[in-house]
């Protein structure tokens, strides 16, 4: 029966979400949505919201509403809020993202399953904006980053520490002057490695030439 299969696929999707296997989660949740839709069960709307959530977390930019099964629900009030959230997320519009969350507390934040992943979404969008913001600079004031991300300086520093430790950005924090200093150590390292490789190839070539001369 489609209703039973819907429950099974929904449970599988949630399990994959907890394991952070976004691709498998999306597949299961889409199957669950189709099962509930076939059964005429209202849980199809909830599953569709979870599917949108999974797509955001996977950082995919595919339009789920291109699927003919999903298209009729695009204007559903419950789905509109999630779709608006996804659009703000995909375009790295932090202030709009937070505004949509505040304006749709009942439709989004009151769902405990969705609420569990909101901090992940916020960290992702803040990371994307932060990386884009610091890209042109060798040093940038932390208050400037805080203004761009719309969060306190202490939260910016915590995010920066996390990204530095994960080697997503190369730099250090000057806490005295409230600066992020980006170093070009990686560029220098790459140049030195290239020079070492060139030196090794040259040495190998010289050895080959010497051996050939010795044989003649």
Is 183 strand, coil or helix? coil
Q: Would you say the C-alpha torsion 108, 113, 114, 116 has a positive or negative sign?
A: positive
The region, left, alpha or beta by phi > 0 then psi within -120 to 50, assigned to residue 170 is beta
pLDDT at 192 over 80: no
The predicted pLDDT at position 202 comes to: 63
The token duo for 109 is: 């934040």
Confidence grade of residue 1 (pLDDT, cut at 50, 70, 90): confident
> What number is the average pLDDT over the span 33-61?
93
> Cα dist. 174→142, 167, 177 in Å?
9, 17, 6
Q: What is the mean pLDDT of residues 104-123?
A: 92
Q: What is the pLDDT of residue 211?
A: 62
Can you tell me the mean pLDDT for 204-215? 61
- Residues 6 or more apart whose CB falls under 8 angstroms from that of 104 comprise 81, 85
The per-residue pLDDT for 188 is 45
- What confidence category does residue 213 fall into, taking pLDDT thresholds of 50, 70 and 90? low
Residue 108 has pLDDT above 70, yes or no: yes
């Amino acid at each position: 029966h489609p209703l039973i299969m819907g429950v099974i696929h929904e449970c599988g999707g949630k399990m994959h979400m907890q394991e952070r296997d976004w691709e498998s989660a999306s597949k299961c949740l889409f199957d669950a949505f189709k099962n509930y839709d076939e059964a005429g069960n209202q849980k199809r709307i909830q599953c569709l919201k979870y599917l949108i959530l999974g797509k955001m977390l996977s950082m995919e930019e595919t339009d789920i509403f291109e699927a003919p099964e999903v298209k009729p629900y695009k204007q559903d009030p419950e789905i509109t809020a999630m779709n608006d959230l996804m659009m703000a997320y995909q375009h790295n519009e932090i202030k709009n993202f937070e505004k949509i969350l505040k304006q749709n507390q009942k439709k989004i934040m009151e769902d405990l399953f969705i609420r569990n992943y909101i901090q992940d979404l916020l960290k992702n969008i803040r990371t994307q904006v932060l990386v884009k913001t610091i890209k042109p600079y060798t040093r940038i004031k932390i208050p400037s980053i805080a203004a761009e991300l719309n969060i306190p300086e202490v939260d910016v520093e915590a995010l920066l520490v996390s990204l530095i430790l994960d080697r997503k950005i190369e730099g250090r924090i000057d806490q005295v002057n409230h600066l992020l200093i980006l170093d070009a150590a990686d560029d220098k390292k790459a140049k030195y490695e290239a020079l070492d490789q060139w030196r090794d190839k040259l040495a190998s070539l010289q050895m080959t030439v010497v051996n050939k001369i010795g044989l003649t």
